Amino acid sequence: MNVSRGVQVVLLAALLLVVTGGAKPVVVGGTVTSAAEAPWAIALNNTQSVSSSGRYCGAVLVKADKIVTAAHCMDEAASTYYAVQGRADLADDSVGRVSAISKVWVHPGYNTKDHRYDVAVLTLAQPFTGVPVLPLETRARADRAGVVPSVYGWGDTQGTGPDETLQKAAVPDLGDKTCLANQGYVTNGYAAATNVCAGYVEGGIDACQGDSGGPLVLNGRLLGVVSWGQGCAQPGKPGVYTEIAGAAKALLQQVR
């Protein structure tokens, strides 16, 4: 079964976020990090979340009033979403900044059949001024086997750490050939031009339910956002990320 990694907090637990846009876990096998280390990491919460903290998806601040997330995360009314910045532990509402969402743009090429262009730009009602932003990686050559980006999120950890607490994990870029060699991934729409294949062949470390839309960062730039996969941290089933460079032309029009 294939599922999206970020919407329902329970949906992605089984498969990351491939087909239905379900929720996915906080990084499995990662390490706890701080909001100071990743100030641009945004928790995209929702009032309809099954979690008391509101956890729903991840996102990343790319401009004071703009955040980037996964298109499949946008399955509820815009009025139910709110962005949280500077809160490593989502249960601690004494810290951090919160903003409602005033506008939602979903990439026009996104669809639930092949999951390509799984990216969206949200406009914040209250800009997070003074907070460092993460530049978009617009070079397609940045996605290549051997580099080691890191993924950030508040998703499920499957017992490897505290849930709903910001974590990060290094996930080697395996190159497109690795995911294209998996027929299940091809069937679900993996494409070299629009996706990044990252993780460990042996499993053990991966994004999961609740991490959808969260940032994949390489050399201080946004290489991708958590999109989908098959299970979480399973051997031979790396994570699939939306490649920012593949959608850069449309994205730049939204964030300038």
Active centre residues (catalytic): 72, 118, 212
Tokens linked to 71: 């298109």
Type of residue found at 29: G
Percent of residues in the chain assigned helix, strand, coil, to nearest 5: 15, 30, 55
Name the residue with tokens 């032309």.
249
Long-range pairs for 138-144: beta carbons < 8 A, 24 or more residues apart: 138/244, 138/245, 138/248, 138/252, 139/245, 140/193, 140/243, 140/245, 140/246, 142/218, 142/219, 142/221, 142/223, 142/245, 143/173, 143/176, 143/196, 143/223, 143/224, 143/243, 143/245, 144/173, 144/175
Helix (H) or strand (E) holding 122, with range, is strand 120-124
Give the Cα separation of 66 and 125 in Å (integer): 9
